[in-house]
Amino acid sequence: MKEKKLVIIGAGFAGLNLARKLKNSGYEITLLDKNNYHQFQPLFYQVATAGLEPSAISFPLRKVFQGYKKFHIRTCEVIKIESEKNVIQTSIGEVDYDILVIATGADTNFFGMKQVEENAIPMKSVSEALYLRNHALQRFEDALSAKDETERKALLTFVVVGGGATGVEVSGALADLKRFVLPKDFPELNFDEMEILLIENGDSTLSAMSAEASAKSKEFLERLGVKVMLSTQMKEYDGRTVILGNGKTILARTMVWAAGIKGNVIDGLNQEIIVRGSRMKVDRYNKVIGYENIYAIGDIANMVTPLYEKGHPQLANVAINQGKTLAKNLKAMLSSKPLHEFEYKDMGSMATVGRNLAVADFKKMKFQGLFAWMLWMFIHLMLILGAKNKFFVFINWAWNYITFDQSLRLIIKPFKRKVSR
């Protein structure tokens, strides 16, 4: 029998785990992604704050799938899905399929604020994290030569918007840099002038976690010197001035945007299946509503279940398990075996705030402080792909912890070719 062509769009947590579980399964698999590597998103903030190199949290896809039979990887941009023809239009031409799995994940949501989108720095890819690292380090270099006191203060002011895990972790990492590293690098600057502000529209940080974790994260941040501004709306930002909803202004040359995400929807599908947050409605088997051979998994999928009436949280663990469950069902389909409905079993959530400071919720058990921080490090280290990557991340963490230093403070500028006349 001719093997069915299975196309997976996206090599994030969902797509990667689906593809790995289908090794030599009887499908001819094609994996499409705009990058040739998998990115470990939970540690983007450490790349952004010079704690880790991008290569430490990225893993080449062709390395992952060495030895897989009838498996193809194509690096390209997906333009449109033509479901009536079972064809995908991409930047490298047409790709046909028998079964399509959309695992495109989520991107930054600026909620229609065009000026903020043009000037704030998001944190949804390795390249964006690296850009933030370059940008932040350049701000300290610029502050050394700033003649105007107001301009120097603006260069040393960092505004982080969004009190979720990313916002909290970036704020805490910046505070650790301010305390332990930057004064040694820039002894001419007065770091009492450096301000880190976390702006959150809601009334708490880490609102998705327990009340204890939320309160403790705010306490930890304030202990580190971060100014936490709750119930504060961010209205505009032109690259120099932050305008809040109450009319107050903040002079800042850096804004990190961690306030929301939206699904990476691909053109061509029925718009009626797109719900809040640009997510696609799927059934309990991750099949896209209204389509017989198209599935969606991970952050892009909105599955309503008795336990999650508004859809599952957009977490790595959800994406990983949806990928694994769909792989089992796709194998079962080949042998006409019963399929399994997906339901997410919440294993808990964690967030790190700073050195020796983290919060962790595990059902009835809740931890804060040093133990939670050590637990956070161990779990994330185990989730990283590849023994080599695990080793380098561990060595970096150990060195940083012992020396109170980070040795990756390089401003890597993009290459510009000189044009000969």
* Backbone Cα Rg of the chain: 23
Q: Point out the domain boundary residue: 259, 279, 314.
A: 259
**Token pair in block for residue 154:** 């603006």
Q: Are residue 133 and residue 171 in the same domain, yes or no?
A: yes
Burial of 335 (0-12, 13-18, 19+ CB in 10 A): exposed
CB 261 within 8 A of CB 277: yes
Q: Are residue 103 and residue 126 in the same domain, yes or no?
A: no
Looking at residue 216, its pLDDT comes to 96
Looking at residue 421, its pLDDT comes to 57
- 9 three-class SS: strand
Give the DSSP letter string of 90-115. ETTEEEE-SEEEE---EEE--TT-HH
Q: Are residue 154 and residue 44 in the same domain, yes or no?
A: no
Q: Are residue 61 and residue 152 in the same domain, yes or no?
A: no
**Token pair in block for residue 334:** 């080949």
| Residue 80 φ/ψ region, left for φ over 0, alpha for ψ in the -120 to 50 degree band, beta for the rest | beta
Torsion angle defined by CA atoms of residues 12, 15, 21 and 26, in that order, rounded to the nearest 10 degrees = -150
Looking at residue 120, its pLDDT comes to 97
- 145 three-class SS: helix
Looking at residue 345, its pLDDT comes to 86
In a domain, 274, yes or no: yes
Give 397-402 contacts, CB < 8 A, sequence gap 24+.
397/51, 400/51, 401/355
In a domain, 371, yes or no: no
Angle at 252 between CA 248 and CA 254, to 5 degrees: 130
Q: Are residue 130 and residue 195 in the same domain, yes or no?
A: yes
Orientation of helix 165-176 relative to helix 211-223, angle to 10°: 20
CA–CA distance, 310 with 279 (Å, rounded to integer):
11
Q: Which helix (H) or strand (E) holds 15?
A: helix 13-21
**Token pair in block for residue 8:** 């997976």
Looking at residue 289, its pLDDT comes to 97
Q: Are residue 135 and residue 244 in the same domain, yes or no?
A: yes
**Token pair in block for residue 79:** 């333009």
Q: Which residue range(s) make up the domain with 273?
A: 5-108+261-334
Q: Are residue 189 and residue 210 in the same domain, yes or no?
A: yes
**Could you tell me whether strands 195-199 and 227-229 are parallel, antiparallel, or unpaired per DSSP bridges?**
parallel
pLDDT profile of the chain (421 residues), mean per 10: 88 96 92 96 94 92 93 97 97 97 96 95 94 96 94 97 96 96 94 97 94 96 97 95 95 96 95 95 97 97 93 93 97 93 90 95 91 95 90 92 85 74 57
CB 240 within 8 A of CB 154: yes
In a domain, 402, yes or no: no
Which CATH number is 158's domain given? Answer: 3.50.50.100
Q: Are residue 97 and residue 157 in the same domain, yes or no?
A: no
Q: Which residue has the tokens 């909290």?
A: 168
**Token pair in block for residue 249:** 């202004």
Q: Are residue 38 and residue 162 in the same domain, yes or no?
A: no
In a domain, 360, yes or no: no
State which amino acid sits at residue 156: L
In a domain, 398, yes or no: no
Q: Point out the domain boundary residue: 334, 353, 377.
A: 334
Q: Which residue has the tokens 């198209």?
A: 294
CA–CA distance, 191 with 198 (Å, rounded to integer):
18
In a domain, 139, yes or no: yes
Q: Are residue 225 and residue 268 in the same domain, yes or no?
A: no
Rounded to two decimals, the pTM is 0.92
Tens of pLDDT, residues 93-116 = 999 999 999 999 999 999 999 999
- Per the structure, the count of domains in the chain is 2
